[in-house]
Amino acid sequence: MTTHKNLLGGPDPTHLPENEEAYRLLGEESLPPAEVAAKHPTFSLAWAMLADDAFEAGRVVESYAYARTGYHRGLDSLRRAGWKGHGPIPWDHRANRGFLRCLAALARAADAIDEKEETERCWQFLKDSSAEAYAELKR
């Protein structure tokens, strides 16, 4: 990976560490996201998948809870990776996608339960963190 100097003076992009074991369990072993989340509770992608599945099944409050769990676990991971509360979280880095998907899922579920301030905050946070993720996930 090439690292470029940030000429604008803002924080460098944050790249979460990969969790190859969790990806393997989802992929090669085809474990359901709930089992992966139980084995790797800091793996936000599993929480995002659970949130998406619940939302698609009409279980909005459950989706909200899954998304919020993945979001908070992701924030903890971002802070451990050096994130200071702002700055880019690139969508093109695979390990960041779980957190970004949880953020979008939280915005979507908050909107569905008419929690407008949370909806707007989450969409803005996503847009500020990754314009590419925002474009991909804001449907």
pTM of the predicted model as reported, rounded to 2 decimal places: 0.92
Q: Residue 10: its pLDDT value, please?
A: 85
Confidence at 1, pLDDT banded by 50, 70, 90? very low
Instruction: Output the average pLDDT for the chain.
Output: 95
The tens digit of pLDDT for each residue in 10-25 reads 899 999 999 999 999 9
Q: Residue 7: its pLDDT value, please?
A: 57
Cα end-to-end distance, the chain, whole Å: 30
Q: Residue 9: its pLDDT value, please?
A: 73
- Measured CA to CA, the distance from residue 137 to residue 94 in angstroms comes to 15
Q: Residue 139: its pLDDT value, please?
A: 76
